Amino acid sequence: MTSILNCKEVLANLSCYMDGDGAPGVRKSIEMHVVRCRKCRVIADTTRQTLELVRNADPFQVPLSVSARLYERIEAVLSGR
Amino acid sequence: MKEPSNHAHREPSPESAMHDLDLVDRILAGEARAFEPLVRRYERRVFRVTLAILGNIEDAEEAMQDTFVKAYRHLSQFRRESRFTTWLTRIAINEALQKRQTQRNFVPIEDAEAAGADFMPQRYQSWRADPEKLHGKQEIRRMIEAAIESLAPIYREVLVLRDLEGLTAEEAADALGLKIPAMKSRLLRARLMVREQLAGAFENPSTLKRKIVARAVEIREAVATTLIRVAGR
């Protein structure tokens, strides 16, 4: 039988749930809780949105000057200078 | 090497299509120039990792350069039990962690851990359906970068390794010298903290009507939960 988790337990397991981890019973429990609890549903939905945004944003480009200095250093190493 | 590459428009070349291990073979056979495509291919990854751990561009740049130099000089030690990129990322993480030990302003891990341990979400408003349309890609990127930068390093590094660079839980925990449950616990907080930072910009506007409806839904749910518990006794 699947036990009902409280909000704190759902939150503690949310990240693992999103990564596809966790025992089937716990996963089912989270799903049952989220259907009924608006706060946890919002947190689950918006955390999922957060992860999608983070991945899609492709943040932290290498600044061109940083890239140029890296290539200079590598050039020096490769040419034995 | 020539000018800094523009990744999106770089002309395809035979080297850019070559497998990492083929390039490694060529370097070990004495063709030093075969290291260049590996630098171009992974500079972004190495930079993000070192920046996540060190928190400023100057130190991240130095650690990135040292990572590639070390990888080149120690390439014969690469055992091929893992992918080249995993091996390289491990070097980057180690370089950055070593450098962090010397940073004067680094908050001790125990203090940072304690500061984040009680973190609880405060914002419970749902978000607009498509933030990217509302704000534009550049603006979203800026917001995401600001949110990630605001995290303490111990949270920032797990988020970048897992959610941006795609390391497995085992790889990330191992590289950072953490047990898997500790890494997962930090990752949960990191994700919730970034969510909280973004919520202000992405939430649906909160009108009085919306607040009343939300409160009514909460009351209904609380009653339903109580009834289910009572019925189960």
Name the residue of chain B whose CA is nearest to A16's CA: B184
Which pLDDT score, from 0 to 100, does residue B12 have?
A: 43
Q: Specify the long-range contacts of residues B204-210, CB closer than 8 Å, at least 24 apart.
A: B204/B125, B204/B126, B204/B127, B204/B128, B206/B125
Which pLDDT score, from 0 to 100, does residue B8 have?
Answer: 41
Q: What is the pTM of this model?
A: 0.82
| pLDDT band per the 50, 70, 90 thresholds, residue A54 | very high
Find the residue in A nearest to B64 (Cα).
A70
Would you state the pLDDT for residue B212?
80
Which residue of A4, A46, A59 is in closest CB contact with B145? A59
d(CA B175, CA B161) in angstroms, rounded, equals 10
First-to-last C-alpha distance (Å) of chain A = 69
Beta carbons of B193 and B119 less than 8 angstroms apart: yes
B109-202 topology per CATH: Arc Repressor Mutant, subunit A (1.10.10)
Residue-level length of chain B: 233
List, run by run, the mean pLDDT of 10-residue segments along chain B (233 residues).
43 66 94 95 97 95 98 94 92 95 72 72 80 84 95 94 94 94 94 93 75 79 82 72
Determine the residue among B159, B192, B226 to mutate to test chain A binding: the one whose Cβ has the most chain A Cβ atoms within 10 Å: B192
* Model ipTM value: 0.91
Residue B203 CB contacts under 8 Å (≥ 6 apart), including other chains? B123, B125, B126, B127, B128
> Searching chain A, which residue's CA lies closest to the CA of residue B215?
A38
Exposed/middle/buried for B30, CB within 10 Å: 0-12, 13-18, 19+?
A: exposed
Helical H segments across chain A, by residue range: 7-18, 24-36, 38-57, 64-78
DSSP string, B127-190: BPS-HHHHH-HHHHHHHHHHHHHTS-HHHHHHHIIIIIS---HHHHHHHHT--HHHHHHHHHHH
Chain B residue numbers with beta carbons less than 8 Å from the beta carbon of A78 are 32-33, 35-36, 72
Would you state the pLDDT for residue B206?
67
CB of B217 within 8 Å of a chain A CB? The answer is yes
Residue of B nearest to A71 (CA): B1
CATH number of B7-101: 1.10.1740.10
Mean pLDDT of A28-53: 92
Q: What is the pLDDT of residue B16?
A: 62
Inspect the interface and report whether the beta carbons of A46 and B64 lie closer than 8 Å: no
Q: Is the pLDDT of residue A2 over 60?
A: no
| Closest C-alpha among B150, B14, B68 to residue A73 | B68
User: Are A50 and B194 within 8 A, CB to CB?
Assistant: yes
